[in-house]
Structure 1
Amino acid sequence: MIDYERYTERLGEHIVTNPGRVVALFLVVTLVFSAGLGNISTDAGTSQFTEDSPAQEALDDVNREFTPAFETSSGSTQLIQRSSNVLSKSSMLDMLRLQQSILERTDLRATSASSVASTVAQTLDPSATTIDAQIAAMEAASQSEVRAAARQATSNPGVASLLSNDFNRESVTASATIGVVSHEVPGISSSAGTSGTSPLSDIQTEIQTMSTVAESDITVFGSGIISSELGNVIVDSLLLVVPAAVLLIFAFLVIAYRDPIDLLLGVISLGLAIIWTFGFMGLADIPFSQMLIAVPPLLLAVGIDFGIHAVNRYREERIKDVAPGPSMRITVRQLSVAFFIVTATTVIGFLSNLTSDLAPIRDFGLVAAVGILFTFLIFGVFLPAAKLYADQLRDEYNVPEFGSAPLGTEGGLLARVLSVGVVIGRRAPALFLLVVVLISVGAAAYGTGVDTTFSQEDFLPPEEQPAVLQQLPEPFKPGVYTVTRDLNYLEDTFESTQGDSVTIYVEGQLRDDSALEEIHRAGEDPPKSFVSSDRRAESTSIVTVIQNYAAQDPEFAALVDRNDADGNGVPDDNLDRIYDELLASPVSSQASSYISDDYRKTRIVYTVKGDATQDAIVNDGQEVADRLRMSSTATGSTVVFKAISDTIFMSAVTSLVIALSVTAVFLVLIYQLLEGKGSLGIVNVVPIVVTIALLAGSMRYLGIPLNALTATILSIAIGLGIDYSAHVVHRFSDEYNAGGDLFEALRLTVGGTGGALTGSMLTTTTGLGVLAIAITPVLGQFGIVTALSIFYSYLTALVVTPPTIVIWERLTQRGTDALTSVSS
């Protein structure tokens, strides 16, 4: 055993003899950390998760291979048009005129515009290659001529795919269509997902202001708008969550402290913990992401617990007429060990996330762990010193105390309610624990079916926000978000949502006579998730580039025809010359985006259905890749997201196993070193195992998946849950070692520590649960499951721990008696 009391007594002596100096030192350190607050940057969206991902690296390789050197970054804006009939002359003129306005604005950096309207205009007048000529052709045609041209143009499946699912070929009507404007904008990332703001954001916002037209409703959509909303949602979520959490926490702290000076000290301590943690982030150059929005509530959760325990334990001594100095020495001696155990196990839980392959989860684990260490120092040293210093000043200036009685005082209603675990331990501990084991096993088995997801929608606000949020005053009223609504509309209205695709990366000898036929055949009888027409997958590849250029150039068409043995439009011979001619033609840039210079690498891009699941898309993409004899890999943003989803699941499992194993070993060692009773560490772990089982089952029952943020909850549940059971076990050990009866020690434990735990639970579940009102779904889900983990930890600490201690005492006492009998 380690004589830890001499260290805790030294700490207590230093705090008691120099409270003012301790307070001053902490305030100076706060000034140092506050210097880092101005360096904090933000990072939003999904691209932060795809960094260092093998799937993303494969996609980056494809982009580098088929993107010409020194090419200006490109982006596109989708114009979603709705009207009673988007194929009417007036509606198509609306679309063309908006595209004309965009192309005329040099600041919008538009290079081209395409739509069903422009195709119909060129059907009316094949020479109308400019937007001005297309508008003139449309204006000059009669209604019947426009209708006939529209019927002819939409016979092309590619054109028809830009029309809504209600497109009627007979009546030539549709309620919606999509137009596309291409831009050349420097600084646009091609990575999967979006992050923060981009140059395209301002462009698409400006186009939205231009889109009000006479008869049609045209909505602007694109990656720039998604990027902008992902950035804005962080600010709006903080403006909602932080004030609400502060108000609710403040209300509960008023009840818990019941003294304005103690309340002020508690709030100041919480503020210092937040400043130190955020200052560390700025100094360490860690960007603030959506995941890190959860860190302040987590620090509040642990800080509130430590604060209430410190003040409550001090009050327990003061009501015995013990002087302030000795009372604080006892408080520090007893609680510093419990705080150390809680801090160490909580840090272990958070640091277990460093094993994740995802950088944001690693950053979350590191920042949370550092924040908990800061919280330990502030509430374990600063708050006791500040409390004692304040009481000394209070005595000096005769300031009265208010509500200084500790929570859960003997004989009170709360103490009687909290004693339920002790009653169970006295009457039927073994039977109760058997029931708990059965419930836990059932909940854990049920919880193994919890879903795992990762998608851009996780980070976007819901389509409809609660009406009450729109009634809030500025600046708390959230902004208007349209991305999710538009994404859902595209998915529901069009067979294929623009941008949903799977890329097959092919490596092999493309000069072989069978190479192009092999690529062509891969799209026959496509899987269900692929968009198809006439039993062929909708795709773009070097084959479609060849076919499209052959349709434009008769000389090239003759070359293809001479080398097409079976007459299907796909050349079978002399492929070297086919490629050479193609790369020397006006469509060389398009061709080079599908075939490498050495004719050994190519890509095929298949369009997939907007409502297809990630699993279906990835599996179907791999199925098509396997049809090719050449080396082929399925990739694309959807494949990347699926890989991240799988990584999230593995991260959750790995961090859980590591956190639980290391925590158990640590607790056994620390109780052996401090108390000579290592088996108390196992007692400490039992309620946590029950909590995790109940939490997993609850997540599946409530339909909350393991996503980028909730995947950390299992390891967090260990860290925060240990907080409750460690206080109970350590307080019991102190009371039991003092020579008390087993059940008397348990009664004193739940009556004293249980009262503080109740105040902490009510405050932290409310403070964390308020995340449920965050605009981002992933934050709301995290708030719910974290609040549940706190409640389950509290419940198991007070109900499961006492019977477990009774069984532990019987087993250890039986072993001691046996050893005594043998020795005698």
Structure 2
Amino acid sequence: MRTRPLRRCIDFVTEHNRITLLVMVLLTGVVLAGIPQLNTGSQAGGTAADFEHLDRVQASQHIEDVYRADEHSQSNRTLATVYVHQPDGNVLSKPALRAELEFQQTLREDDAVGRALHPDGMTGIANLVATRAAGDRAASLEEQLAAVKSASEQEIRTLLRETVTDNPRAGRLLPADFAGETSATDRRLLIALDTGVDQDVYEDARNAIFETANDRDASGYFTLGGPAMEAANSHFTGEMVELVLPLALLLIVAILAFAYRDLVDVIVGMTGVVLSVAWMFGLLGWLGVSAGVVIIAPVVLITGLSIDFGFHVFNRYREQRAAGADRAPRTDEREADATRRGEDAGIRPSMNRGVRLVATALVLVTVTAAIGFLANLANPLPMIRNLGIAITLGVASALLLFVTVVPALKISIDGLLERVGFDRRKAPLGHGRYLRPALERTVTLARRAAPVVVIVAVLLGAAGGGAWFALDQESFQQGDGEVADWKQNLPDPIGWDRHAYYDRADHVEETYRPASAADATRTQILLDGDVTGGGTLAGIADGIDHLESASLLVQADAGGVESPLSALRRVADRNATVAAMVDRADSDGDGIPDRNVARLYDALYAADSDLASRVLERTDGEYRSALVTVSIDAGWETQDTAVTEMETAAAAMVDGSDRTATLAGPFSVNQAVVADLVAGILLTMVLALAAILLTTMGVFRAMHGSATLGAVVAVPIALVVGSVIGTMYLLEIPLTLLTALLMSLVVGVGIDYNIHIGDRFADERRAGTPTIPALRAAVTGTGGALVGSTLTTAGAFATLTLVPHPQLVSFGSIVVVALVTAFLVSLLVLPSLLVLWDRHAAASVTVGDRTQTGVSATQD
């Protein structure tokens, strides 16, 4: 590996700082022009082909290819629901019902709603009562309103009792525990929208429904659809920006100010950080990579890595100035010219040598981080691939900016200030009277007890890594909007308020069941094998009974279940021949046929082939599979419980027979995909570790003459990963898509600190410094920058734990643990490994000055 091109670049930057700044300003303008082209849409989903090796995905594909159930279950309508909740009122009174009809009138007057409204129209308890009052089921809305206005309160109560008793549709519109009274605190209105209209019209209609209901908030009207959720998310983001972002920025600036103790270095360093993030988004825009679901993670990670780069560049520069590099004999004619121009040429050699010394470590950090991040390109999910691309672009941008813009800007400002009389020499980080002794103690520990330190570290890392298989797995961590009291009691504008959406969502979940089986979540169980055996239909009945006993089914007797058994019963109700065959096939009188099942299927096809084709697969007269479709009362937040119950039901349908039962609904497929992704990320993490190990060994062999030294530097990443996994287990942080992704990112950032200390140690050894003094110089010289970087980045991530959302709390916690663990490993474990390596390695690093020779000759 040659360093000459890198050295020439550094020479140009430090000698021509103004030209460098001009060029980089122009280049930055070009890069940032890509930001307006940035695609912020979500691309989180994969395709079925990406997961076709999964049984549940195969079953879903088989159902789609063979069965016609989807054709019948799909509809060109969707329901928008408006809820009315009056805790101290009666939503079934005459004024309340009249108000609902007037609400419907207002909606119909909206152009978008009128164009998007499905022929099924709007259905509320007010409509059912009003049409009865008008004596015409087809009465127009105006006629309904007139009928309600003319009826007395007593007549309305009588009509309401009749409606609830006679019309089963009324039950969908009232609370699940409604017992036929004439008063209630809750009701809902179902609005059917046509999904076949233009997408913009459809979205405008949903927004109009949300806004119209919101205008009647005082009367208890509200919605929980997409616009309401977007409003809650917007409120959440605003609260986070007002509370968390200022605190994170304040913390970062405060730590930088304490570490640098120099306003110029804080400003220059933050300039590099901001530009790194901006470049990342600009490059994403030019490359057409979506940033819709990868905005948070790259920003915070690139901010942390950029701050780390800045600490090392400034620290090496300060060390060189303190060592008198600026007072070295001037051998370069260009430096003499600079002196004659009245510039402080002493700043340039200090920056030149400082950046040269740290550049190799920065390049290696960038390369190893990129390997860890780009390993995610093998993942089938676009979201994960985009995450790897975004962070890699950000890290590469940070490297370029911190070896060009930051040094050039620093030289320019320091030169200007020194010409007007300000001394710009600053003490290096890590050399304070409190920090330096603490850092030196880690070297003493390595010198006295290196084997013990390594053994303890390996045991702890192995114990933590073993907890991977004990972690809970969830698709995502559902936030409930709960906000701690102290956050709500903060003075405005930083006080955090719980949005009404979450209370309303909880209330609706407790109060209502799905509006109908057709509108509930539909999931399938595919039966393969001997589906004509005598126990097939009994097994299906047992599985359905389990789901019903678990209160998971919606309208089990009214379209909530579709199976060969329900199809036979439906046809038998209207076909005497089939009914007689069903009775004869029931040998034990339990109402479930248990013999001649194939003949029953034939009769079903003969009587209603359309219905039969939705529950049975028949090829050349042979029955190959059967399909059970159920409507379940569950949401994404309860999907794990629902899938567990479905698995139990599927097992009951098999019950020791030659049949197989495979879940194929959205929840079960999602669960299988998440498990597969977690396993894939584990494999990606292992491969990334191996790639980083080989890369570090190759670079250290080329630069320092020792591949084994590179291995010693890289191996502690495994300890970091193990510690993070163990901490997740102790903190009960589950493996979700996000936390599993973070585990792969830990590989990319976990080696950062080790590289800086290992590279500095090799430099000192090559200069002829004995082992312990070389280690002391590496730890105290580089350790100060690591302390500042850890405090700044971990502190910023720690502010995420203030956000009242478990997913973001987990995100912040994992990154903080990873950063702190990486820091501790680099200062406590790596020095011990370096001591052991120096004692037992077959050959040591080449003695010589890397910045002068460029390449070492001795290799092990």
For normalisation by structure 2, the TM-score amounts to 0.78
Taking the aligned partners of 1:753 and 1:735, their CA distance within structure 2 comes to 12
| Counterpart amino acid of residue 606 in structure 1 | S
Distance change (3 Å), C-alpha of 1:594 and 1:221: farther
The structure-2 alpha-carbon separation of the partners of 1:597 and 1:807, relative to structure 1 and needing over 3 Å to count, comes to closer
Q: Distance in 2 between matches of 1:187 and 1:755?
A: 62
Offset of 1:376 from its aligned partner? Answer: 0.9
* 8 Å Cα contact 1:187-1:199 kept in structure 2: no
**Cα distance, 1:51–1:574 mapped onto 2, change above 3 Å:** closer
1:86-116 CA distance string (max 9 Å, x none): 6854597268536643664353243323356
What is the match of residue 586 of structure 1?
A: none
- Which one of the candidate residues 497, 506, 513 is aligned to 1:488? 506
Q: How does 1:647-796 map to 2 (within 5 A)?
A: 647-774=676-803, 777-796=806-825
Instruction: Report the CA distance shift for 1:482/1:547 in structure 2 as closer, same or farther (over 3 A).
Output: farther
In the TM superposition, residue 477 of structure 1 has moved relative to its aligned partner by: 7.7
Q: Which runs of 5+ in 2 are unaligned?
A: 327-346, 584-590, 594-599, 846-860
Q: Is the 8 A contact 2:528 2:626 kept in 1?
A: yes
SS of the residue corresponding to residue 462 of structure 1 reads: coil
Say which of 606, 625, 646 aligns to 1:621: 646
Relative to 1, partners in 2 of residues 1:609 and 1:246: Cα closer, same or farther, differing over 3 Å? Answer: closer
Pick from 267, 279, 295 the counterpart of residue 270 of structure 2. Answer: 267
Q: 1:536-580 deviations in whole A, cap 9, x for unaligned?
A: 7971549999999x9xxxxx9985456433588999886567548
Cα distance in structure 1, aligned partners of 2:309 and 2:753: 11
Shift of 1:597: 14
Cα distance, 1:281 vs structure 2: 1.4
Separation in structure 2 between the aligned mates of residue 480 and residue 422 of structure 1, nearest angstrom: 50
1:801 to 830, 839, 856: 830
Match of 1:105?
109
Which has the larger displacement, 274-283 or 56-65?
56-65
Instruction: Find the residue that maps to 1:709 and give its secondary structure.
Output: helix
Q: What's the CA shift for 1:65?
A: 6.9
Contact in 2 for aligned 1:461/1:481 (Cα 8 Å): no
The change in CA–CA distance for 1:532 and 1:10 in structure 2 (over 3 A counts) is closer
Kept in 2, the 8 Å contact 1:332–1:380? The answer is: yes
Query: Which of 206, 209, 225 is equivalent to 2:211?
Result: 206
Secondary structure of the corresponding residue to residue 223 of structure 2 = strand
Q: Distance in 1 between matches of 2:763 and 2:717?
A: 21
In structure 2, the residue matched to 1:183 is 193
Provide the secondary structure at the position in 2 that maps to 1:182. Answer: strand
> SS of 1:604's equivalent?
strand
Aligned equivalents of 2:578 and 2:702: distance in 1?
Answer: 83
What are the ranges of 5 or more consecutive residues in structure 1 without an aligned counterpart?
190-194, 551-555, 584-590, 817-824
Higher alpha-carbon deviation: 44-53 or 351-360: 44-53
8 A Cα contact 1:150 1:172, kept in partner: no
Structure 2 distance, partners of 1:213, 1:403, is 65
- TM-superposed CA distance for 1:367, in Å, is 0.6
Q: Return the match for 1:462 from 469, 478, 481.
A: 481
**In 2, Cα distance between the equivalents of 1:95 and 1:431?**
78
Q: What is the SS of the residue equivalent to 1:740?
A: coil
Q: Contact (CA 8 Å) 2:79, 2:190: kept in 1 or not?
A: no
**Are 2:107 and 2:208, in contact at CA under 8 Å, matched by a contact in 1?**
no
2:289 alignment partner, SS class? coil
- On the 8 A contact 1:651/1:711 being kept in 2, the answer is no
Q: In structure 2, what is the equivalent of residue 564 of structure 1?
A: 579
Q: Secondary structure at the match of 1:406?
A: coil
8 Å CA contact 2:122–2:190 kept in 1: the answer is: yes
1:305 to 305, 308, 313: 308
Note if 1:430 corresponds to 2:437: no
CA contact (8 A) 1:273 1:375 kept: yes
Q: Secondary structure at the match of 1:451?
A: coil
1:569-602 CA-partner distances (Å, limit 9, x unpaired): 999886567548x99xxxxxxx999999999997
CA deviation map 1:705-725 (0-9, x unaligned): 222322222222222121111
| Whole-angstrom CA distance in 2 between matches of 1:119 and 1:500 | 22
Q: Is contact 1:448–1:696 with CA below 8 Å preserved after alignment?
A: no
Cα drift, residue 472 of structure 1: 7.0
2:336 is aligned to none
Quote the Cα distance in structure 1 between the aligned partners of 2:467 and 2:255. Answer: 35
**Matched AA of 1:93:** L
Whether contact under 8 Å (1:118, 1:131) holds in the other structure is: no
- Aligned match of 1:247 in 247, 250, 262? 250
- Alignment correspondent of 2:165: 152
Q: Distance in 2 between matches of 1:161 and 1:344?
A: 59
Q: What is the deviation of 1:274? A: 1.6
Distance 1:593 1:40, change over 3 A: farther
Residues in 2 aligned to 1:669 and 1:281: alpha-carbon distance in whole angstroms: 30
Is 1:416 aligned to residue 421 of structure 2? no
Match status 1:76 vs 2:80: yes
What letter corresponds to residue 454 of structure 1 in structure 2?
S
> Once the 2 structures are TM-superposed, how far is the Cα of residue 120 of structure 1 from its aligned partner?
6.7
Matched, 1:327 2:350: yes
Distance change >3 Å, CA 558–CA 795, structure 1 → 2: closer
Any idea what the Cα deviations from partners look like across 1:160-209, whole Å, max 9, x if unmatched?
Answer: 5765455457x7876544442211245699xxxxx9x9445413322423
For the residues of structure 1 that align with 2:135 and 2:626, how far apart are their CA atoms? 36
Amino acid at match of 1:76: A
**Does 2:650 align with 1:605?**
no
Count residues with an aligned counterpart: 783
The share of aligned pairs that are identical, in percent, is: 24
C-alpha displacement of 1:421: 1.7
- One-letter identity of the residue aligned with 1:378: L
Aligned equivalents of 1:577, 1:212: Cα separation in 2: 55
Question: Are the structure 2 counterparts of residues 419 and 89 from structure 1 closer, same or farther at C-alpha, using a change threshold of 3 Å?
Answer: same
Q: 1:263: Cα distance to partner?
A: 2.4
In structure 1, distance between residues paired with 2:835 and 2:520: 59
Give the corresponding residue for 1:587: none
Instruction: Determine which of 374, 381, 404 is the counterpart of 2:426.
Output: 404
CA contact (8 A) 2:279 2:397 kept: yes
Asked whether the 8 Å contact 2:44–2:293 carries over to 1, the reply is no
Instruction: Give the match for residue 465 of structure 2.
Output: 444
Once the 2 structures are TM-superposed, how far is the Cα of residue 488 of structure 1 from its aligned partner?
2.8
Residue pair 2:552, 2:632 contacting (<8 A) in 1 also? yes
Question: Is 1:278 aligned with 2:276?
Answer: no
The 1:669–1:76 alpha-carbon spacing in structure 2 relative to 1, beyond 3 Å, is same
Farther off after superposition, 286-295 or 412-421:
286-295
User: CA separation of 1:605/1:205 partners in 2, compared to 1, >3 Å: closer, same or farther?
Assistant: same
Which 10-residue stretch deviates more, 637-646 or 489-498? 489-498
Out of 251, 258, 262, which is 2:261 matched to? 258
Shift of 1:43: 2.7
| Matched position secondary structure for 2:630 | strand
**In structure 2, distance between residues paired with 1:174 and 1:569:** 41
Checking the alignment, whether the CA contact within 8 Å between 1:33 and 1:276 is kept in structure 2 is yes
Give the superposed CA RMSD: 4.7
SS of residue matched to 1:128: coil
Matched residue, 2:377: 354
C-alpha spacing 1:761/1:545, structure 2 compared with 1 (3 Å) = same
Structure 1 residue 461: Cα displacement: 7.0
Name the SS for the 1:753 alignment partner. helix
Q: What CA distance in whole angstroms lies between the structure 2 residues aligned with 1:799 and 1:44?
A: 42
- Do the aligned partners of residues 558 and 695 (structure 1) sit closer, same or farther apart at CA in structure 2, a change above 3 Å counting? closer
Pick one of 2, 13, 30 that aligns with 1:32. 30
